[in-house]
Structure 1
């Protein structure tokens, strides 16, 4: 577990951050320039806050009132950056073991364990120049793990990779989340990444942490649209694969008594699934629809509607004990008489659920994440 409560500045840019994370992944999300990297550099000891307190697993790394400021080299914070920063003249094996040797650190985690976790055994005798971007990042993650960190900081680790390389490395990050056994602070401005990987989501805007909490709870907040980006507005639904129809290539995911049909989902019966549904992919009906190609019609109740002056409005609904968002025109909302408390049906095209992710229930202990996937 780690706790951060700090204030500081770099030049004229000021930051003010307060949040905490437990096991699994805590994500810092914000637009470019929001202050995410400044905050993580203060946690790592690269930058010194003006005031505050930082603890990891109960150990104080920084406390301005008590005059504690542990040097960066002694904080045992492993860092992974956008670029892998490997030594080009060393083999993968030597890059992996360098941090442990340089820091004279000893840990129960073996080289073989990390190599297996990240699937890089076949790369050990190669040089970084002969690796793909995704392979270099996996080696960089392995090097950080072998430095015996208390906390792993991952600062935009996929930002320099194309979509294909991201798809290659994400399953390893899924596995890392469940098997590394240390808290991970993941920095990104890509919502699809944080929705897939996170248990806790922290929103950063203009140097301040303006919201933090369970990822599904934060994604359902319509008041954060400016900081999270309205185009990527979404919600998470969690459920279990209850039926597989091989004839039509559809899997049914039970989300608490109602079913969402998902195409091409490679997951077995009983698998826990997290579905990220974009608000722009949800339509609203006031009566149960018939004779439509849209196969997913979920009964829900409107809990809130944003008051906006533009052409669109955000509608937040409860579906069982979960939340779902819809973005529609204000004209449609008015014409349908939509208002808080009204019962509606929320329509989601199966083809809109184009990418898949396996995920355990939020807040649960992670057990086996091999080959996990994301639904958006």
Structure 2
């Protein structure tokens, strides 16, 4: 399953010109407010028409301005989840979910319904009305309604922006599971870096209606040169596995190509595969192995490159194939005589880890 987009649209003083291809998994449209993210979602969904271009999903052209082709929204088999759930308040959760099946144009499939309900954890809500539910529960039902329409593509336009941090934390695991188990490609709009770091397979950075960068999440989010574009701190994404948990210290022991990490407050079973974000500002560098530090995480690596960023320098570090990035001053680069290819020690405090930037990847991994 893939999506190809090459289009342009002018609205008053704003011009959107976007060309990209994205494959399976979750593709995040990332950028500042006003960069064109929602406009692009509207064009893919068929809620707006481009001035020029093509949109192709799974080999089927939905828009081709040269051929004067425009497939209407209800025939695109695209599910859309908006910032607000847009449920029918007078219907039960069960009836709201059933509304999505109307557009599938297929026979009722009880097994498919049970699978979606189980994946989203909403079985106990089926006989309730939306007005009595939390924001996170309503969004899970909106996702279920979209999935029961059997879409070939799911668009999610900042679905967590109206939720507080506690409710965001409650729904993120369901979106992870959706990404890994539903088998439907997702295009996901967000301006929250922790959200994107946790969920995205691919990241498309939009700046003033243009694609500023496109690539795997781990490569895009560590780029210091894009920080002014997406208003976020550059940082590394590490693929780790829970190796052990210490109830006395409250620390989880993680292992991965970069080495071992101690992370607080992670109640995850041994063997769980995680994606861990480490912001560049939380990484210290040493040219010799440090002694007598309270910081518990010391990773060994080699300097891969250095990119000036304002008054600072982003130092990219190769830790056995895993890539970290540290933000240091130009004075530190000079005083430590840092150079590409030099062995280096990267130090990360255990308390620096943000739980919002730690996500689960549901595949079996041997430790």
Deviations 1:239-273 (A, max 9, x none): 22334334323232222262112223223333322
Secondary structure of 1:31 counterpart? coil
Counterpart of 2:160 in structure 1 is 158
Residue 171 of structure 1, CA deviation: 1.2
1 CA distance for matches of 2:305 and 2:167?
39
Counterpart of 1:354 in structure 2 is 354
Show the 5 A alignment for 1:238-277.
238-256=239-257, 258-277=259-278
1 CA distance for matches of 2:84 and 2:269?
36
Count of aligned pairs = 362
Pair 1:139 & 2:141 matched: yes
Counterpart of 2:290 in structure 1 is 289
Instruction: Give the superposed CA RMSD.
Output: 2.0
Counterpart of 2:94 in structure 1 is 93
2 CA distance for matches of 1:207 and 1:11?
13
Deviations 1:195-231 (A, max 9, x none): 111111111111111111111111222221211224x
2 CA distance for matches of 1:309 and 1:156?
30
Residue 102 of structure 1, CA deviation: 5.7
8 Å CA contact 1:216, 1:235 repeated in 2: yes
2 CA distance for matches of 1:156 and 1:51?
26
Report the CA distance shift for 1:6/1:247 in structure 2 as closer, same or farther (over 3 A): same
Report the CA distance shift for 1:368/1:28 in structure 2 as closer, same or farther (over 3 A): farther
Counterpart of 1:301 in structure 2 is 302
Residues 72-81 or 11-20, more deviating: 11-20
Show the 5 A alignment for 1:1-376.
1-101=2-102, 104-106=105-107, 110-230=112-232, 232-256=233-257, 258-310=259-311, 312-355=312-355, 357-360=358-361, 367=363
8 Å CA contact 2:225, 2:309 repeated in 1: no
8 Å CA contact 1:267, 1:358 repeated in 2: no
Report the CA distance shift for 1:309/1:41 in structure 2 as closer, same or farther (over 3 A): closer
Report the CA distance shift for 1:59/1:106 in structure 2 as closer, same or farther (over 3 A): farther
2 CA distance for matches of 1:257 and 1:60?
43
Query: Unmatched 5+ residue regions in structure 2?
Result: none
Residue 299 of structure 1, CA deviation: 1.2
Report the CA distance shift for 1:60/1:304 in structure 2 as closer, same or farther (over 3 A): same
Residue 64 of structure 1, CA deviation: 2.1
Report the CA distance shift for 1:273/1:101 in structure 2 as closer, same or farther (over 3 A): closer
Residue 17 of structure 1, CA deviation: 1.4
8 Å CA contact 2:223, 2:234 repeated in 1: no
TM-score, normalised to structure 1, is 0.90
Counterpart of 1:372 in structure 2 is none
Counterpart of 1:363 in structure 2 is none
Report the CA distance shift for 1:206/1:120 in structure 2 as closer, same or farther (over 3 A): same
Residue 358 of structure 1, CA deviation: 4.3
2 CA distance for matches of 1:260 and 1:2?
37
Report the CA distance shift for 1:257/1:101 in structure 2 as closer, same or farther (over 3 A): closer
Report the CA distance shift for 1:258/1:194 in structure 2 as closer, same or farther (over 3 A): same
